[in-house]
Amino acid sequence: MLGSMMQQPLLISSLLTHAERHHGDVQVVSRRVEGDVHRQTYRELAARSRRMANALAARGVAAGDRVATLAWNGYRHMELYYAVSGSGAVLHTINPRLHPEQVAWIADHAEDRILFFDLTFLPLVEAVAARTKSIRAYVAMTDRAHMPETSKVPDLLCYEDLIAGASERYTWPVFDENAPSSLCYTSGTTGNPKGVLYSHRSTILHTYAAALPDALNCSARDTILPVVPMFHVNAWGLPYAACMVGAKLVFPGPHLDGKSLYELFESEGVTVSAGVPTVWQGLLAHVEAHGLKFSTMHRTIIGGSACPPAMMRDFQQRHGVQVLHAWGMTEMSPLGTVCALRSRHAALPEEQRMAVQLKQGRAVYGVDMKIVDAEGAELPQDGKAAGELLVRGPWIVSRYFNSEDDPLVYADGVGWFPTGDVSTIDADGYMQITDRSKDVIKSGGEWIGSIDLENIAMSHPAVATAACIGVKHPKWDERPLLVVVRKPGAEVTREQLLAFYEGKVARWWTPDDVVFVDAIPLGATGKMQKTRLREQFANHELPGAGAVRPHA
Ligand code: AMP
């Protein structure tokens, strides 16, 4: 016997039709590449998305075809999210911070047919056009008046001409909810990037979970500004969740400096924002330098890398903005855990509550997770045992796009995705990342978590950013080296920084040396590239290397 409820596939187009019908008057506000602020409602967004779906069909884009974007967070990008996926094609959001060689490689691997791009990226698109074999048409995301002069991009079309020339009448097709909807390539710090092909079903289920109060907590009363790019794991699903709940959306376009973000937060009454720690550094520095306050923002979602305690303290204690720490991966759509507190944490003193909030959080329903040792045996959830974090669930990758390799590990016949992160899980279910497995510092057969050491350094008032890496040591295999960027005008010595660790970590965890640099290399998604630092400092001579150190 089966249940007798309606069979309705979970399709991305249903989010847009829901938004149009039930909160069609809610605004989507975008700072454009040109610098001005554009406004439209969900009703207008839906109408323009239908026009674009017609325009795509007229150009021969069929179900399953890949349509690529090189674009900032903005309303035209949002229209493509719905027009492309809604019509059955696959939206391939490409990270524009990659090298033209990599962009062309990814576009060819994905077999992208059309590339939509913001004007900022014209030089990149010109370089890509000379290299790619698969892209047959290019669309500049602008109007006729702003169309660029270029002879290096063949078949260049104008976005607003496509919209104007297409009918608003379009019926979103109904198809299998397991059909592909969008494609994202992982940052790929080693080897070639790998594609993760999301489905309509995985996206809708992820959206339900992301919107929950103990997850990203999105509601009709929110004005959400995603700083996290729409080219990086679908801006953590916020463009979908906002449509689902009827939140106002504010897109910052290319203007991601502290001043521009702050002005938009204030002028649009933003209540919630989301981004990686590196973007918040600029914002906090601007707010502090000018003695400003956030008048409407009360929550910020921080993920992508560990949130440094100093940043959490600044947001919460100085500015009254609650930090919601979240963890996920491209392979996970991306949401895995969110650090919402339980009721008994409310009574804890501030610092103890923060110690909980600094963990990456509890699994959202739909994500199952466990930690295992090197042999694959499950480790206890005691907050102490650290092992590789494995996950499974309906919005977690089972195979990379166009790849035969099976990335999963199997236990009792069940497939788990190995995250490459090393973590603990405590008795309350709070997961804490201690390292990427390749960043962990292996000293004397034991592991030193680089994130802890970085967080301590970053809580020093003279330190802007810090990375901790393992460098070769003749006796201990590897020892920690701290790489530090000082705050402008601030002074701190190697000895002072090393002394700063006293009493905060076991003695053998204290870095062996400190080097000062002007900047730490960041990858295309704003994360510190520790692999590059490891290369740069591969031959660094540690003081006293060879001397026996107490390893306890
Ligand atoms: P990506 O697929 O580029 O989003 O990278 C995913 C990786 O980023 C994860 O496997 C983690 O190593 C790291 N990551 C994401 N969120 C966090 C977080 N809150 N704390 C620490 N690392 C994180």
| pLDDT reading at 6 higher than 70 | yes
Ligand 1 mutation pick, 183, 421, 434, 439, max ligand atoms within 8 A of CB: 421
Q: State both tokens at 44.
A: 């207008």
Catalytic residue chosen out of the listed positions 152, 293, 438, 442: 442
Tens digits of residue pLDDT in 54-69: 999 999 999 999 999 9
Percent of the chain with pLDDT over 70: 98
- 3-state secondary structure (DSSP) of residue 472: strand
Given a cut of 50, whether residue 548 has pLDDT beyond it is no
491 catalytically annotated: no
Which atom of ligand 1 is found nearest the CA of 436? 12
Confidence of residue 191 (pLDDT cuts 50, 70, 90): low
Eight-state DSSP code of residue 7: -
Which residue, among 161, 154, 93, has the nearest Cα to 126 in the 3D structure? 154
CB of 334 shorter than 6 A to ligand 1: yes
Q: Given the CA of residue 306, which atom of ligand 1 is nearest to it? A: 20
Average pLDDT over residues 32-43: 94
102 lines ligand 1 (CB under 6 A): no
Beta strands in 393-491 (DSSP E): 409-411, 414-425, 431-436, 441-443, 446-448, 463-473, 477-486
**Which atom in ligand 1 lies closest to the alpha carbon of residue 525?**
3
Query: In angstroms, rounded to a whole number, what is the distance separating the alpha carbons of residues 111 and 308?
Result: 39
The answer to whether the CB of 142 is under 6 A from ligand 1 is no
CATH number belonging to domain 441-536: 3.30.300.30
Cα 106 to Cα 85: distance, rounded to the nearest angstrom? 19
Q: Give me the sign of the Cα torsion angle 144, 145, 148, 151.
A: positive
Q: What is the pLDDT of residue 162?
A: 98
What is the model's pLDDT at position 502?
A: 92
pTM of the model: 0.89
3-state SS assignment for residue 163: helix
Rounded-to-integer distance, Cα 205 and Cα 366, Å: 8
What tens digit of pLDDT does each residue of 98-126 get? 889 989 999 999 999 999 999 999 999 99
Q: Which band of pLDDT confidence, cut at 50, 70 and 90, is reported for residue 358?
A: very high
| Helices (H), ranges, 36-142 | 42-58, 75-86, 100-110, 122-129
- 17: annotated active-site residue: no
Residue 550 has pLDDT above 60, yes or no: no
Contacts of 506 (CB under 8 A, 6+ apart): 552
For range 165-172, the mean pLDDT = 98
Gap between the Cα atoms of 423 and 363, Å rounded: 13
- Please give the helix or strand (H or E) that residue 41 lies within, else none: strand 37-41
What mean pLDDT is predicted for residues 473-487?
92
Quick check: helix, strand or coil at residue 48?
helix
When mean pLDDT is compared across 110-119, 406-415, 444-453, 508-517, the lowest value belongs to 444-453
| CATH class of the 13-26+41-199 domain in this structure | alpha beta
**Is it the case that residue 192 has pLDDT exceeding 90?**
no
Which pLDDT value is given to residue 188? Answer: 54
Contact 265/237 with Cβ under 8 angstroms?
A: no
Say if ligand 1 is within 6 A of residue 449 CB.
no
Q: Whose CA is nearest to atom 23 of ligand 1?
A: 305
| 95 close to ligand 1 (CB < 6 Angstrom) | no
Among protein residues, the one with the nearest Cα to ligand 1's atom 6 is 329
Average pLDDT over residues 123-134: 97
- Candidates 79, 177, 268, 331; catalytic one: 331
How many Å apart are CA 350 and CA 137, to the nearest integer?
55
Amino acid at 102: Q
Peptide bond into 461 cis (omega under 30): no
For 241-287, the pLDDT digits (tens) are: 999 999 999 999 999 999 999 999 999 999 999 999 888 988 999 99
Ligand 1 pocket member 229 (CB < 6 A): no
Is any atom of ligand 1 closer than 6 Å to the C-beta of 303? yes
DSSP tag of 315: I
User: Residue 330: CB within 6 Å of ligand 1?
Assistant: yes
Ligand 1 center to residue 336 CA distance, Å?
A: 10
Is 434 touching ligand 1 by the criterion CB < 6 Å? Answer: no
Q: How far is the CA of 334 from the centre of ligand 1 (A)?
A: 9
Scanning the structure block, which residue is given the tokens 């990427």? 436
Question: Quick one: DSSP state of residue 378?
Answer: B
pLDDT value at 549 more than 70: no
Whether 438 is a known active-site residue: answer: no
Tell the residue nearest (CA) to atom 3 of ligand 1.
187
Label each residue of 345-362 as H, E or C.
HHHCCHHHHHHHHCCCEE
Over residues 472-490, mean pLDDT: 91
Confidence of residue 408 (pLDDT cuts 50, 70, 90): very high
Let me know how many helices (H) and strands (E) the chain has, helices first: 16, 26
Residue 495 neighbours by CB under 8 Å, 6+ apart: none
Question: What are the structure tokens assigned to 184, written together?
Answer: 């994202």
Where exactly are the structural domains of the chain? 13-26+41-199, 441-536
Beta carbon of 460 within 6 Å of any ligand 1 atom:
no
Report how far residue 414's alpha carbon sits from residue 433's, in angstroms, rounded to the nearest whole number. Answer: 24
Judge whether 101 counts as a catalytic residue: no
